[in-house]
Amino acid sequence: MIDRRLLLRSSGAAAAGALGAAALADSAVAAESAPGPTARPAEDSDPTSGVTRTLLQEHPSPAKGWKAVQTLVQIPRCKESGRHSHPGVEVGYIIRGDVLMEFDDRPPLRLRSGDPFFIPADTIHNARNVGRVTTMMLSTYVVDETKPLVTTY
């Protein structure tokens, strides 16, 4: 069972371990700290390859027709989430890493480990990992339950 309080208090490998992903995080950190250039597989040409979204919990909201969804998003080094929007607000926290949150309608926002963020409903955005490690973000959405959580552009 995941100790959600530990996740919020922890960062880096400790948070990954709390989510049962320590092996993944360790291998990602080892690969990221390897010296010299490395060959990239063909699928690495896709800027969103390797991005994972793990559903942590989903519950009906007190407001009829809405739901609350919480995910752990991991974005490998030099990768991005891709332009997308949500049918409700996103409230997030950077557990580990550095992200440039890019928007279609406003200047980008630089986020680092420990930074919270808020994205209004239906706002097109892209989270680009600009750091040296796999970024881990905790994102909570309050969204229209009749619509998909993510619309890509």
Q: Would you state the pLDDT for residue 45? A: 79
Q: Would you state the pLDDT for residue 13? A: 38
Pick the closest to residue 74 from 100, 40, 101, 49 (CA basis).
49
In the chain, the domains with their CATH numbers are 48-152 (2.60.120.10)
Tens of pLDDT, residue by residue over 71-102, are 999 999 999 999 999 999 999 999 999 999 99
Profile the chain (153 residues) by mean pLDDT over runs of 10 residues.
42 39 39 45 75 96 95 97 97 98 96 98 97 97 96 94
In degrees to the nearest 10, what's the CA dihedral of 132, 112, 75, 67? 170
Q: Is 9 left (phi over 0), alpha (psi -120 to 50) or beta?
A: alpha
**Bridge partners of residue 119, in order along the sequence:** 90
Residue 75 near residue 127 (C-beta atoms within 8 A):
yes
Q: Would you state the pLDDT for residue 43? A: 54
Q: How many angstroms separate the CA atoms of 114 and 22, rounded?
A: 20
